[in-house]
Amino acid sequence: MTPPKIRTDPGTTSTEDLLARRRALAETIGDPQRVLAGSLVEQHRRCGKPSCACTGGDGHGPYAYLSPRQVERGRLRYVPARLVAVVRHYLDRSGEVEAALAEISAINVELLARRELT
C-alpha cells in the first residue's frame, strides 16, 4: 500500500513533511527479495507430433513464461502453473518498489537542494 503523495510542490513542502514521506515510502518497499523485473508472457506450443490436433490448431497451452528484464533478449523462463500467481505478485511488487524508489530519489534531490540531505 503506497502512502498518499505529497500534493504540493516539493519546493514549498516543509523538510519535516518530506522526511516523513520518505520514511513512509521506505516502509512500503517491504522485502526486496520478493520482486521480479520483467513481464509474464503466455504462449501456445505445438508438440511436434504429426498426428496431434495441435498441428492444425492453436497448440497446447497456454503456458506461462517469464521474460526477465536483465537477461538477453529472447530468453524466456517457463513458469509452472502453480507459480503463475506468485510470479504475477512479484512482478507487481517490482513496479511498486520502482515507483517508491523514484519518489524517494526525487525527495532526496529536493533535500540536497536545500542542503538538508541526511
Distance separating alpha carbons of residues 41 and 89, to the nearest angstrom: 14
Q: Phi, psi (5° rounding) for residue 63?
A: -110, 145
- Is residue 64 within 8 A of residue 82, CB to CB? The reply is no
For the chain, the average pLDDT equals: 86
For the chain, the domains span 15-113
Predicted pLDDT of residue 105 = 93
State residue 88's pLDDT score. Answer: 96
Could you tell me which residues come within 8 angstroms of residue 6 by beta carbon, excluding any fewer than 6 positions away? 13, 17, 18, 21
Given pLDDT bands bounded at 50, 70 and 90, which one contains residue 10?
A: low
Q: Decide which of 92 and 8 is more confident.
A: 92
Mean pLDDT of 44-59: 85
